Amino acid sequence: MNFYIRSPYGHYPMYRRMPRLPENWDSVENQIYFPVDVREKDDTFTIIAMLPSLKPEDVDIQIINETVTLKGEFKTEIDEDATYIMHEQPTGKFCRTITLSDMVDSSKAQASMENGVLKIEIPKSEEAKPKTIKIANMKK
C-alpha cells in the first residue's frame, strides 16, 4: 500500500546520482497525495487524514458548503551537499479537496490531531437531514 506519491519531476523518474534536472527540462509542480478516509454515519461526516510529522498549526482546514479543503506543507530538511540514493519523505505544499454528499454545518465542525492523524467531524446541516411530514386529514 502506498501512502504518498511525490513527483517533483512530473512523469519522469528520479535517477540515482542525479543531483537535479537540467534547466531546460520542464517539471510539474510538486504533488503530494496522502491517504484520507471519509465516513458518513448517522448525521455526521468523519474525515481521517494521515499527515505524519505535521503539527496542528501546519494544517489549514476550510469548509464551504459541502466542500472540505486541507492545505499545508511538509517541511523536510534536504542536504544540498549530499547525493540521495532514495528520497521518499514528502516535501512541499499540499492541497486536498474533498466533496461530501450533503450540506454540512461548518460552525459545529471539530478537528483534532494526534500522532500525525488528523480527524475532522462535521455534522450535516439541518437542511440535509431527512424530514418526516405528517399527512393532514381533509374533512368535507
Is residue 25 a contact partner of residue 93, using CB atoms and an 8 Å limit? no
Q: Distance (Å, rounded) from C-alpha 45 to C-alpha 40?
A: 5
Q: Which residue has the cell 521518499?
A: 88
pTM of the model: 0.69
Q: Which run of H or E residues covers position 36?
A: strand 36-41
Q: Distance (Å, rounded) from C-alpha 59 to C-alpha 106?
A: 17
Domain segments of the chain: what residues?
5-14+35-125
pLDDT, tens digit (0-9, with 9 covering 90-100), for 36-94? 999 999 889 999 999 988 999 999 999 998 999 999 998 888 888 888 888 778 888 89
Distance of CA 78 to the CA centre of its chain: 24
Instruction: Please tell me the predicted confidence (pLDDT) of residue 27.
Output: 42
Instruction: Please tell me the predicted confidence (pLDDT) of residue 100.
Output: 92
Instruction: Please tell me the predicted confidence (pLDDT) of residue 20.
Output: 52
pLDDT, tens digit (0-9, with 9 covering 90-100), for 79-135? 888 888 887 788 888 999 999 988 898 999 999 999 999 999 999 988 766 778 888
Q: Grid coordinates in use for 36? A: 484520507
Give the architecture-level CATH label for domain 5-14+35-125: Sandwich (2.60)
